[in-house]
């Protein structure tokens, strides 16, 4: 379900108890957001990268981001992310 109508997506998607659980987990920093395949966001890739590196990181959201290295502006991630490549797996 797309959450374009409400600034708080959780109101549109989750029940009250689910929303409370998510908000409590967020406040406890017990949530990790996984963004898989940023390089596959097509025309939105630059917007998504900027949102991740400029908004979510500053908000303190714990993130795991995946992409092919040639598919993103790697310099955006070097300051705030630990970068691991397939070559690092041995």
pLDDT of residue 9: 61
Residue in the structure block whose two tokens are 């992409």: 67
User: Contact at 8 Å (CB) between 29 and 60?
Assistant: yes
pLDDT of residue 7: 45
pLDDT of residue 1: 42
What distance in Å separates the CA atoms of residue 42 and residue 89, rounded to the nearest whole number? Answer: 28
pLDDT per residue, tens digit, the chain (90 aa), is 445 544 456 566 788 898 889 888 888 888 899 999 999 999 999 999 999 999 999 988 899 999 998 899 999 999 999 999 877 655
Q: How far is CA 82 from CA 5, 20, 47, 66, in A?
A: 34, 31, 21, 11
Q: Using alpha carbons only, give the angle 85, 86, 89 rounded to the nearest 5 degrees.
A: 100
**What sign does the CA torsion over 24, 62, 7, 1 have?**
negative
pLDDT of residue 27: 86
């Amino acid at each position: 379900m797309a959450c374009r109508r409400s600034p708080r997506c959780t109101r549109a998607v989750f029940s009250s108890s689910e929303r409370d659980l998510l908000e409590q987990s967020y406040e406890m920093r017990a949530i990790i957001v996984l963004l898989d395949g940023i390089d596959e966001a097509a025309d939105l890739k630059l917007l998504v990268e900027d949102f991740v590196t400029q908004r979510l990181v500053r908000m303190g959201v714990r993130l795991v981001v995946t992409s092919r290295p040639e598919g993103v502006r790697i310099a955006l991630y070097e300051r705030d992310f630990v970068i691991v490549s397939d070559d690092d797996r041995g």
